[in-house]
A and B are shown apart, each in its own frame.
Chain A
Amino acid sequence: MLTEYAFWFLSFLAVFSALTMVVTKNPVYSVLSLILTFFAIAGHYFLMNAQFLAAVHIIVYAGAIMVLFLYVIMMLNLNKFEDEKKSLFMNSLSVIAGCILGFVLLAVVKRTDELTIVAKASSAEVGLVENLGNALYKDYLLPFEMASVLFLAAMVGAVYLSKKEMV
């Protein structure tokens, strides 16, 4: 019962803050509402017994990436928002693009069979660190290592691009 209330509260919070993030004109408010969205999603992970995922989600997204976003926005000092006028052509193009995305999402929802399942909690042990570690390092070792190599490549690339003197 309590879980269901928490689910509805978190869902409302996630959707509301995500909408605020898109609609608001102040970039700092955008970032802050995106952080709120991340917290709501982390709450959902908790409801599904994925504690490790929830904690890492907060540490990585809310704690590190969004701090950098906020940092950059503060550095650029984007306080004044210029309400730039876009042409009718661009506006109609964006409406069409948005509608296409909406149709895709609608198709996904329509093909989903189990719409009635609300936050089905998987068994309590699934999200524990030990089980997650075992799954990652035994069953999915190759994809895990591939992903880490990919991250390393991206990091090396970023360092190379940010170096002032090209070798």
Chain B
Amino acid sequence: MDPILLYKIILCVIVFAVSLGIAAYMTWGERKIAAVLQDRVGPDRAGPFGLFQPLADGLKMFMKEEMIPGASNKFLFILAPGFFMLTACMTSVVIPWGSGLEINGTVYPMQITDINIGLLYLLGVVSIGVYGIMIGGWASNNKYSLMGALRASSQMISYEVAMGLALIALVMWTGTLSLGEIARQQDAGWANVVYQPLGFLIFLICAFAETNRAPFDLPESESELVGGYHTEYSSMKLGFFLFAEYINMFISSAVLATLYWGGYNFPFQHELGLEGNTLAIIQTVVLFAKILIFIFIFMWVRWTLPRFRYDQLMNLGWKVLLPLAIANIFFTGIGMYLFGKLG
């Protein structure tokens, strides 16, 4: 078998397993962080520090009774959580997880595929991600589910616009759509957040909205909509919806770290006297540290800020973030002119 192909398959399996594992332990982390912020102990029964809690939760999800509402559309009802999970996992293929491992003289890049439209691929997957929620909410044949699905779709469409415009400014500055290239550029110079602070802020807010996290978790706001789009779901189908949200959060953190915070690069990495594979492994560890920081911010915000009202959410998306993103493009253009970056 072709060694490159074999390597890619192994890398795919590793990335898949790592995203699932991290997502599982994010549920534990979320409950621990919530506990700390609310001055509680949090889960501590299963294993030391409650570390086996995700396993217990997963087992519970699998063992629970499976309910499919009689009046629902069964095919779409079953399809929706699977589709949501699929789109959540699809984004990880374009993220550069490290610079590259050298084995027997061949350099194996730690990125599953470095397509030259990586950013567009990212936007595309994000934009079709809403179908899982919409189909699930509609197929449940429940008015709360439908309301949740409609809210989710309008919210995600609104924030995709600002997100895309924030990315356009980044693309203008870096001059490439490939995530691998963006990460390599930040090795030579500063991290992109130095040049694109406003773009980073807009992208961060939109990432919160796209992953349906508080303060933007209106699609599932329990005080108004029972459980939102997954009201009728039970057992592992509900587990898939909740789990996919954590995978989305993990991937968003990875994207944020790669695009704006230098990816796997860290300051003074070439002055340490480390070479080749040692440096590559440390870079991957650094990337994961950055990702964990962003995941912490996601959870910190959830347990700190109250939920938006729906009109406030729409106003923020269309009347604040969108004009800001356009202004950011304008200022980026001026900056490129001043720094002589125009070709």
Interface residues of A (CB under 8 A from B): 28, 32, 35, 51-52, 55-56, 58-59, 62-64, 67-68, 70-71, 74-75, 128-129
Once A55-B117, A55-B121, A59-B124 are accepted as A-B contacts, the answer to whether A64 and B157 lie under 8 Å apart by CB is yes
Interface residues of B (CB under 8 A from A): 73, 76, 115-117, 120-121, 123-124, 126-128, 130-131, 134-135, 138, 146, 149-150, 153-154, 156-157, 160, 177
Once A35-B131, A59-B127, A62-B127 are accepted as A-B contacts, the answer to whether A71 and B154 lie under 8 Å apart by CB is yes
Does B138 contact A129, Cβ atoms closer than 8 Å? no
What residue of chain A has the Cβ atom nearest to residue B129's Cβ? A63
- In the bound complex, CA of A77 to CA of B231 (Å): 19
The contact of B76 among A28, A51, A68, by CB within 8 Å, is A28
Does A32 contact B135, Cβ atoms closer than 8 Å? yes
CB-defined contacts of B157 to chain A, threshold 8 Å: 64, 67-68
The contact of B116 among A32, A58, A129, by CB within 8 Å, is A129
Once A59-B127, A63-B127, A74-B138 are accepted as A-B contacts, the answer to whether A51 and B154 lie under 8 Å apart by CB is no
What residue of chain A has the Cβ atom nearest to residue B157's Cβ? A67
CB-defined contacts of B131 to chain A, threshold 8 Å: 35, 67, 70
Once A71-B154, A75-B150 are accepted as A-B contacts, the answer to whether A51 and B117 lie under 8 Å apart by CB is yes
- In the bound complex, CA of A71 to CA of B134 (Å): 8
CB-defined contacts of A62 to chain B, threshold 8 Å: 124, 127-128
- In the bound complex, CA of A92 to CA of B241 (Å): 49
State how many angstroms separate the Cβ of A41 from the closest Cβ of chain B.
Answer: 14
Once A51-B115, A67-B153, A68-B157 are accepted as A-B contacts, the answer to whether A56 and B120 lie under 8 Å apart by CB is yes
- In the bound complex, CA of A69 to CA of B343 (Å): 41
CB-defined contacts of B149 to chain A, threshold 8 Å: 74
CB-defined contacts of B123 to chain A, threshold 8 Å: 55, 59, 63
Does A63 contact B124, Cβ atoms closer than 8 Å? yes
- In the bound complex, CA of A110 to CA of B79 (Å): 42
State how many angstroms separate the Cβ of B159 from the closest Cβ of chain A.
Answer: 12
The contact of A58 among B73, B128, B135, B156, by CB within 8 Å, is B128
Does A58 contact B127, Cβ atoms closer than 8 Å? yes
Does A63 contact B128, Cβ atoms closer than 8 Å? yes
The contact of A52 among B120, B127, B134, by CB within 8 Å, is B120
What residue of chain A has the Cβ atom nearest to residue B143's Cβ? A77
State how many angstroms separate the Cβ of A27 from the closest Cβ of chain B.
Answer: 11
- 5 example contacts (A-B, Cβ-Cβ < 8 A) are as follows A52-B117, A62-B128, A64-B127, A70-B134, A71-B154
Does A67 contact B134, Cβ atoms closer than 8 Å? yes
